[in-house]
Amino acid sequence: MLRIIYLFLDITIDHPLKLQAIQLARTSVSMNTQNSYRSTWSKWELFYQQYFGCTPPDNHYRTLAYTQFLDQLLMFVSYCVFELKTNIRSIPRIMSALRYSFLIKRIDCSAFDDPFLRAVKQGVARMPAPPHRVRLPCTLDMINYIIDLNTTPNAPLHNLMLATGISLAYHLCLRSSEYVTKTIVPIDDSHQFKTTEVEFMLNDGSLTLLASNKLHCPYSAIKLVKFSMLHAKNIRRDYGVPIWFSATDKDHQPVPFVQLLFRWATTSTRHDSDPFLSFRANHILHCLLYKTIQSALKSSAKHFNFDEAWFTTHSIRMSVPTIARAAREPTSTILHMGRWKSVPSSMRYQEQSTSVNDHIISIASNPTYFTSEDIILSRTLASRALRSKNSVQKSTSTVRRY
C-alpha cells in the first residue's frame, strides 16, 4: 500500500490524488502494522526530546529545509543504533515506518529518497545477521533440581516460595511479570496472581472454592486448584481465563505440583490483596523477586554444565511448549497453553529436540506420505478443451501453475 503513496511523491502535498492515496493507506494497513508505526513514531519523539528538547508540532517539519530534515534523519539512524541499541538490520524497516508517519501527516518526504540516506539503508541491510538468540528453554531436570533443592522438610519460607514460583511458572507457562516482582514492594498494576485468584475446590461435592489463604483442611479434602488469569498476555483486560488442575492423578495419587501449591498456601500467611507468591512475617511483606528466580536458574544451569547466559526467566515459559511439541501435541493445545493467538508467535517459544527430529526422519523415510498419485492429483486440472469425435482419445489435462 505504501507503493501507492510513493507514486505521488512528485505531486504537491495537497493534491487530491495524493490525499486520496494517503487516506487509502491509512485505512488499509493492518492493526499490527499500525502499532509498529506508532512505536517508530515514539522513537522519533524520544529522539527529538533528547537532541532538541521538545516534541514539535507537525508544522515545524514543513518549515525545515531539505538539508536540515536530511541531517535529522541521519541523526535518527545513529540514535536508534547507538542509543536504543536497535538491531541495525531493522533500520530500513524503521525508516519506512517513519516515512509512512510523515506522509500521513502530509509532510514532504523527499529527503527519504536522498542518495546518501538510501545508501545508508542499503548498507545496513547487507550487514551480517546478529548472533542467534541465546535464550533456551529449561529442561524438566533443571526445574526439578531447583524444586528439590528448596523443598526439604525444614525449608525456610523464602526457599519454599522460590520452589513454588518455579513450579507455577513452568506448569502455567508464565511470563516473569505474572509470578515475580522486580521491586521489593509490588507495583499497583502488577500482573501477578493475587491470593484470592488462586483457589482450591473442596472434594465434598459442594463445589465450594476457597481462596488460597483460607484453607484449613488436609490435602485429601482438596479436589482441584483453580487459577484466574486476569492480566496474562493476549487476554482481554478484566476478562480473565480460568485454568485448573486436579489434586490427584488417574491412579488417585497426589499431583506433585498441586501438592506443592497446597503446602505453600497452608504454610504462608497472606492478606487477600497480597500476591500469591508472598508471605508476611513481623508485619513485613516478602515477595518472590525476579533476581531470586534468575539466580536459581543460573545455578541450575551451572549444575548441569550449561552456559548460564543461555537461560533467563523466560526460559521457563519456553519449556512446556517445547516438550509439548516433542510429544506431537496438537498446535491448538500449545496455543491454548501459552495464551498465544497465532502459530508464529508460539513458535518463538519452541525449540528442536531429538524426539522432534527423529519424528521428522520417520516421516521423511515413509514413502506413503506423498506419492506419485498425490503429484498427479495436486498438479493437474481438468481441461475445458472440446475434443473431436474423430480425434484420438488422449489426455488434455493442463498442468497447474502456482
Q: How far apart are CA 384 and CA 14, in angstroms?
A: 51
The span from the CA of 259 to the CA of 261, in Å, is 5
Domain coverage including residue 173: 140-303
- Please report whether residue 367 resides in a domain: no
In a domain, 355, yes or no: no
Same domain, 58 and 198: no
Query: Residue 15: its pLDDT value, please?
Result: 52
Rounded percentage of the chain residues whose pLDDT exceeds 70: 79
- The residues that bridge with 224 in the sheet, in sequence order, are 201, 246
Mark whether 79 and 201 lie in a shared domain. Answer: no
C-alpha cell at 346: 508460539
Give the separation between CA 89 and CA 360, rounded to whole angstroms: 32
User: Quick count: other Cβ atoms within 10 Å of Cβ 348?
Assistant: 12
| Res 87: pLDDT | 76
Distances (CA, A) of 50 to 38, 43, 276: 18, 11, 41
Cell of 174: 508464565
In a shared domain, residues 213 and 257? yes
| CA pair distance 59, 254, nearest whole angstrom | 68
Query: Which of 98, 125, 152 is the last residue before a domain boundary?
Result: 125
Task: Judge whether 318 and 135 are in contact, CB under 8 Å.
Answer: yes
Same domain for 79 and 188?
Answer: no
Strand partners, 286: 279
Q: Are 105 and 183 within one domain? A: no
* Domain presence at residue 330: no
Instruction: Label residue 285 exposed, middle or buried (CB < 10 Å: 0-12, 13-18, 19+).
Output: middle
In a domain, 133, yes or no: no
CATH number at residue 182: 3.90.15
Distance between CA atoms of residues 41 and 246, nearest Å:
48
Can you tell me whether residue 241 is helix, strand or coil?
strand
Phi, psi for residue 50 in degrees, rounded to 5: -70, -40
pLDDT at residue 152 greater than cutoff 50: yes
What residues contact 384, with CB distance under 8 A and at least 6 apart?
none
Specify the pLDDT at position 340. 85
pLDDT band for position 255 (50/70/90)? very high
CA angle 234–235–236, rounded 5-degree value? 115
**Is 170 within a domain?**
yes
Judging by DSSP bridges, how do beta strands 398-399 and 241-246 pair with one another? Answer: unpaired
Q: Which comes out higher in pLDDT, residue 17 or 196?
A: 196
Residue 205 and residue 279 share a domain: yes
SS3 180: coil
Of 303, 321, 352, the domain-final residue: 303
Q: Is 228 exposed, middle or buried (0-12, 13-18, 19+ CB in 10 A)?
A: middle
Question: Is residue 308 assigned to a domain?
Answer: no
* CB neighbourhood size of 368 (10 A): 5
**pLDDT interval class at 4 (50, 70, 90):** very low
pLDDT at 130: 62
178 and 192 in contact (C-beta within 8 Å)?
A: yes
Evaluate whether residue 260 is within a structural domain: yes
pLDDT at position 276 is 93
Continuous H helices in 272-330: 290-303, 314-326
Dihedral sign for Cα atoms in the order 76, 82, 84, 86:
positive
DSSP 8-state assignment for residue 252 = S
**Does residue 163 sit in the same domain as residue 296?**
yes
Residue ending a domain, choose from 125, 155, 186: 125
Q: Are 110 and 11 in contact (CB under 8 A)?
A: no
- Residues 94, 164, single domain; the answer is no
The backbone region for 339, taken as left when phi is positive above 0, alpha when psi lies in -120 to 50, beta otherwise, is left
Q: Each residue of 196-237: pLDDT tens digit?
A: 989 999 999 888 889 999 999 999 999 999 988 876 666 666
Residue 205 and residue 263: Cα distance in Å, rounded?
Answer: 23
Does residue 197 sit in the same domain as residue 251?
Answer: yes
288, 180 Cβ separation under 8 angstroms: yes
Does the residue 159 lie in any domain? yes
* Residue 83 shares a structural domain with residue 186: no
User: Which carries the bigger pLDDT value, residue 45 or residue 183?
Assistant: 45
| Residues 153, 256 share a domain | yes
- Angstrom distance (rounded) from CA 84 to CA 43: 9
Instruction: Tell me if the pTM is above 0.85.
Output: no
Sheet order of strands, 222-229 included: 209-211, 198-202, 222-229, 241-246
Across the chain, what does the average pLDDT equal? 81
101 and 150 part of one domain:
no
- Distance CA(270)–CA(195), nearest Å, equals 7
Flag whether pLDDT at 356 surpasses 60. Answer: yes
Grid cell for residue 135: 535464550
Residue 261: per-residue pLDDT: 96
Q: What's the pLDDT at 13?
A: 45
pLDDT digits (tens, 9 = 90+) for 108-138: 889 999 998 888 877 877 777 666 666 788 8
Inform me whether the pLDDT recorded for 148 exceeds 80: yes
Q: Which three cell numbers stand for residue 165?
A: 514460583
> What domain count does the chain have?
2
Q: Model confidence at 289, in pLDDT bands (50, 70, 90)?
A: very high
